[in-house]
């Protein structure tokens, strides 16, 4: 009997020991289990019921958003010879091209855009349909997606201009008219206000095409830039009447000509940038886009003298190459220059020959 009792006691002890070992290997029901972090790289094929809807998920910041975070506005005046082309990149990454330069500068323009990784344009704005401002735009339209195109709507039978319109139509790019008073939100605090073309159009001037240029005032964080196309003296008088110190009502338009940066009209030609106009604009920086060798003597001593009198620092593409102005969060302008590349035509003579046309003087 004693032997049987000892055997039974041994079997019970072994069972309790085994139960104790098993219970130590499982978590207690009243103790929290350690949670495993969810993968932040969950693919669309493996959704989770506790994830937010796709529209509410945080998105990765794009390069444009990172620019917005820095609050940087940049404006580049391209060295494309005897003509105009400028690129505006706003703090939110919007890209705006104003004019496309002359035929001899097209390769330089395309190279400069590619170098800056411009793979789309939100707006292309043509100041007026003259070859030295529009020639490169058709190639730009053919190579780069464009959201919107805009010009003054001034009638022109110029074959290059008609070819540009045809290229826009073939790609179903919206074409809008740049009307006085139109405001364009560039994002990040950048606003483009169209001060001209005049309404109604100016006629019987030295060059009605030039006189009806689109004039744009870009404003950002206390800074302002005035793009004047090839505005004529008649344009400047009209602008002064509308926006100058003695402007007619509405009074809130007075003072809109004041700008710390002026894109000098008509490549520094002697007729534009009159003393009265400059005395109202009073730019700190004056940018002139021209070729080192050109048929017109641009920029002329008369215009350079008037700019000097108002204290403007003159920046010339024929001397400095590409000129980039940057403002970070509204701070003072930073000026960067990039020397001419082999594609830049400013060091070569203008290919036009013979007496220049009246509207090109």
* Tokens describing residue 12: 């019970």
Strands (E), the chain: 72-77, 86-89, 95-98, 123-125, 149-151, 175-177, 183-187, 190-196, 215-220, 223-227, 261-263, 285-288, 313-316, 322-328, 334-338
Residue 149 has pLDDT above 80, yes or no: yes
Say whether pTM exceeds 0.85: no
CATH code assigned at 96: 3.60.15.10
Q: Residue 253: its pLDDT value, please?
A: 81
Please give the pLDDT value at position 200.
96
Instruction: pLDDT band for 254, please (50, 70, 90 cuts).
Output: confident
109-140: per-residue pLDDT in tens? Answer: 999 999 999 999 999 999 999 999 999 999 99
Confidence band, pLDDT 50/70/90 cuts, at residue 350: very low
C-alpha to C-alpha distance for 213 and 235, rounded to whole angstroms: 8
Nearest to 137 by CA among 161, 173, 118: 161
Mean pLDDT calculated for residue range 35-56: 31
Please state whether 8 falls in left (phi above 0), alpha (psi between -120 and 50) or beta: alpha
Least-confidence region, from 191-195, 250-254, 323-327: 250-254
pLDDT tens-digit profile of 269-304?
999 999 999 999 999 999 999 999 999 999 999 999
Vertex 329: Cα angle to 327 and 331 (nearest 5): 55
According to the model, what pLDDT value does residue 43 have?
32
pLDDT recorded at residue 246: 76
The phi and psi torsions of 293 (rounded to 5 degrees) equal -120, 115
Torsion sign, CA atoms 163, 168, 172, 174: negative
Question: Could you give the CA distance from residue 146 to residue 129 in angstroms, rounded to a whole number?
Answer: 19
Q: How far apart are CA 202 and CA 268, in angstroms?
A: 21
Counting the structural domains of the chain, the total is 1
Contact between residue 290 and residue 299 where contact means Cβ atoms under 8 Å apart: yes
Has residue 12 been placed in a domain?
Answer: no
Residue 323 lies in a domain: yes
Parallel, antiparallel or unpaired: strands 190-196 and 215-220:
antiparallel
Coil, helix or strand at residue 185 = strand
DSSP H helices, the chain, are 2-24, 63-70, 106-115, 131-134, 137-143, 159-170, 208-211, 233-243, 275-281, 301-309, 317-320
In the chain the first and final C-alpha atoms are separated, in Å, by: 131
Residue 270 within any structural domain of the chain: yes
Query: Quick one: which of 157, 215, 218 has its CA closest to 188?
Result: 218
Share of the chain above pLDDT 90, in %: 70
The burial of 273, by beta-carbon neighbours within 10 Å (0-12 exposed, 13-18 middle, 19 or more buried), is given as buried
| pLDDT tens per residue, range 15-30 | 444 444 333 333 333 3
Instruction: Answer whether residue 238 is part of any domain.
Output: yes
Q: With contact defined as beta carbons under 8 Å apart, do 142 and 163 qualify?
A: no
Q: Is residue 276 part of a domain?
A: yes
**Statement: residue 3 has pLDDT above 70:** no
50 has a pLDDT exceeding 50: no
Is residue 285 a part of any domain in this protein? yes
State both tokens at 267. 């490549």
Q: Is residue 359 situated within a structural domain? A: no
Cα–Cα nearest to 268, from 234, 307, 239, 235: 307
- Using an 8 Å Cβ cutoff, are 82 and 58 in contact? no
Cα–Cα distance measured from residue 156 to residue 94, given in angstroms and rounded to the nearest whole number = 29
Range of the domain at 103: 63-350
In 3D space, the residue among 197, 258, 206 whose CA is nearest the CA of residue 233 turns out to be 206
Q: Does the residue 20 lie in any domain?
A: no
Most confident of 1-5, 23-27, 353-357: 1-5
């Amino acid at each position: 009997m004693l032997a049987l009792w000892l055997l039974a006691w041994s079997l019970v002890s072994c069972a309790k020991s085994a139960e104790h070992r098993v219970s130590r290997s499982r978590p207690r029901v009243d103790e929290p289990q350690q949670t495993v972090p969810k993968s932040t790289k969950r693919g669309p094929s493996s959704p989770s019921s506790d994830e937010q809807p796709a529209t509410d998920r945080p998105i990765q910041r794009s390069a444009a958003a990172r620019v917005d975070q820095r609050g940087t506005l940049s404006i580049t005046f391209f060295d494309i010879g005897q003509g105009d082309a400028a690129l505006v990149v706003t703090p939110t990454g919007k890209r705006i091209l104003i004019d496309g330069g002359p035929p001899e500068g097209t390769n330089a323009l395309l190279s400069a855009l590619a170098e800056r990784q411009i793979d789309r344009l939100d707006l292309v704005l043509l100041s007026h349909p003259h070859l030295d401002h529009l020639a490169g735009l058709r190639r730009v339209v053919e190579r780069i997606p464009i959201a919107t195109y805009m010009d003054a709507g001034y009638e022109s039978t110029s074959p290059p201009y008609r070819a540009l319109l045809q290229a826009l139509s073939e790609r179903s790019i919206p074409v809008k008219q740049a009307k006085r008073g139109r405001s364009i939100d560039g994002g990040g605090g950048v606003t483009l206000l169209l001060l001209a073309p005049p309404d109604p159009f100016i006629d019987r001037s030295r060059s009605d095409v030039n006189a009806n240029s689109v004039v744009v005032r870009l404003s950002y964080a206390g800074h302002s830039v005035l793009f004047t196309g090839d505005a004529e003296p008649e344009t400047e008088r009209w602008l002064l009447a509308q926006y100058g110190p003695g402007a007619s009502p509405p009074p809130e338009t007075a003072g809109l000509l004041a700008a710390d940066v002026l894109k000098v009209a008509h490549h520094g030609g002697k007729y534009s940038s009159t003393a009265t106009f400059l005395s109202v604009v009073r730019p700190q920086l004056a940018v002139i886009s021209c070729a080192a060798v050109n048929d017109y003597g641009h920029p002329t001593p008369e215009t350079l003298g008037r700019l000097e009198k108002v204290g403007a620092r003159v920046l010339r593409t024929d001397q400095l190459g590409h000129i980039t102005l940057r403002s970070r969060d509204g701070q003072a302008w930073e000026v960067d220059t990039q020397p001419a590349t082999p594609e830049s035509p400013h060091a070569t003579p203008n290919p036009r020959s013979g007496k220049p046309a009246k509207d090109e003087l």
